[in-house]
Amino acid sequence: MKTVRKVLIVDDSEDIVEYFVQVLNRCTSPVEPIFALTHKDAIEIINNQTISVILVELLLHDACAKRLVNSAVVKNIPTIVLTSIQDKKESFQKLNIVEYIVKENRSSLEYAADVLKRVLKNYDTTVLVVDDSKIAIEKYSKALKKLNLNVVSSNNAKEALELLQDSTTKISIVITDYNMPNVNGYELTIKIREKYKKDNLSIMIVSSMDCSDTIVSCLKMGANDYLLKPYNDEMLAVRVTNNLELLDLFHQTKEISHRDFLTSLFNRRYFFEASTDIFNNIQKSDKAVAIAMIDIDHFKTINDTYGHDIGDLALKEAANILKHNLRTSDLLARFGGEEFCILLDRSSQEQSKEIVENLRQKVEENVVKSGDITIKYTISIGLCYGKYKNAEEMIKHADDALYIAKHNGRNRVVLFDDITNAHCSISK
């Protein structure tokens, strides 16, 4: 379970508060928006509740919010100032706030919303800083912690590689110095790229060498970015944020290409990719697995009788029942149409039979309701269990068993027996 993050919006304009509440309500991670229209209320909230981020206008009806910003910073609450006061940026930036944004137009609100979402994401984002200078590491850490990032560090490449491998938290970005004894930042980048791809881990090289040949070779060898020294905190922040946003985009694109649009289950393509890894592991351990092919009975009749909207609803509900009654280690995908496939890892033949028989019963008990329409439907399941080299052969046997299940009256599970090559019905 992810922690619900409370975000405090402090502004005496109800429109602004409403805008950010809407932004937060669209967040995919669990967030609770809280708002205060006065300085007094805001102070009371931060003294009595655990707040994860504050977004604050300095100019409030009852006070200037400097005391609030100070208290928030002391309490280590990441604070974003979004204000109509133009000339206080420098004095507030010294207070270790995330960012000082001047309210100019709609774009400044949108920018503030992006910063807010980034700070929330950064609770779960880790940066690895590699630099042989202790002072430099401290400088990076201070600037990165302002963005609410988790920071781990190392003063040499060897240890950095070990940290990447062993860290319990996933590292999203490596910021490395170029000039280091033994292995420099360029060589470290090459070593990292042997294992970690650009769409999974970002690398930023930092150097005072303003030489285009060096910059080009660093970028060619897999660095995502090259930051020139001397840099200021704001420059580092914006470059790190841009790199993290790119990683998010890579991640989202991958998610979309792996998912079925209607049900959000994995698609056939992802199933074969993921099952290849599982079968590779099985070969080493000599374990058996189960594959189940599932098909909704008389699905065409549902579509023809009630229309495609109800058909889609039936598909979504079937997908949800399957998803919620499987273990996290099971691989579930929609193969197309009304057909689903499951790979059950780490279970005996008996357990596999019980799991899929439970799915059959759960779908049989379900009632799909939409307006005045209520429908019930069933599924047929073909199951194959055993030690195989790949998913394809198992799917073929499971498909044969599914065919028998359909032929023998539907709403049943049929197991393909790999020893006798016979099929047996296991539903009551």
> Binding segment for Mg ion among 156-164, 171-179, 217-225, 270-278 (CB under 5 A)?
171-179
Of 9-17, 54-62, 64-72, 131-139, the segment contacting Mg ion by CB under 5 A is 131-139
Name which of 58 and 180 has its Cβ closer to Mg ion. Answer: 180
Q: Does 132 bind Mg ion (CB under 5 A)?
A: yes
Q: Are 381 and 402 in contact (CB under 8 A)?
A: yes
Task: Decide if 35 contacts 21 (C-beta within 8 A).
Answer: yes
Among 11, 57, 99, 177, binds Mg ion (CB under 5 A): 177
* 5 phi, psi to nearest 5 deg: -95, 125
Edge-first strand order for the sheet with 225-228 is 150-154, 126-130, 171-177, 202-207, 225-228
Q: Is 179 in the site for Mg ion (CB under 5 A)?
A: yes
Q: Is 41 in the site for Mg ion (CB under 5 A)?
A: no
DSSP structural state of residue 4 = P
Residues in the chain: 428
Active site residue 317: no
Longest dimension (CA), the chain: 83
Q: Is 425 in the site for Mg ion (CB under 5 A)?
A: no
227 vs 375 by CB, closer to Mg ion = 227
Contact in structure between 423 and 400 (CB atoms under 8 Å): yes
Q: Measured from the CB atom, is 132 or 345 closer to Mg ion?
A: 132
Number of Cβ within 10 Å of residue 298's Cβ equals: 14
- Stretch of residues binding Mg ion (CB under 5 A), selected from 42-50, 119-127, 128-136, 414-422: 128-136
Residue 180 or 319: the one with the smaller Cβ distance to Mg ion is: 180
Nearer to Mg ion, 78 or 185 (CB): 185
Interface stretch with Mg ion, choices 32-40, 132-140, 248-256, 359-367 (CB under 5 A): 132-140
Angle at alpha carbon of residue 275, lines to 264 and 297, rounded to 5°: 55
Catalytic hit among 32, 138, 338, 354:
338
- Give which of 229, 151, 145 is closest to 185, Cα–Cα: 229
The nearest distance, CB 132 to Mg ion, in angstroms, is 5
Q: Tell me which residues touch Mg ion (CB under 5 A).
A: 132, 177, 179
Which residues are known catalytic residues? Answer: 338
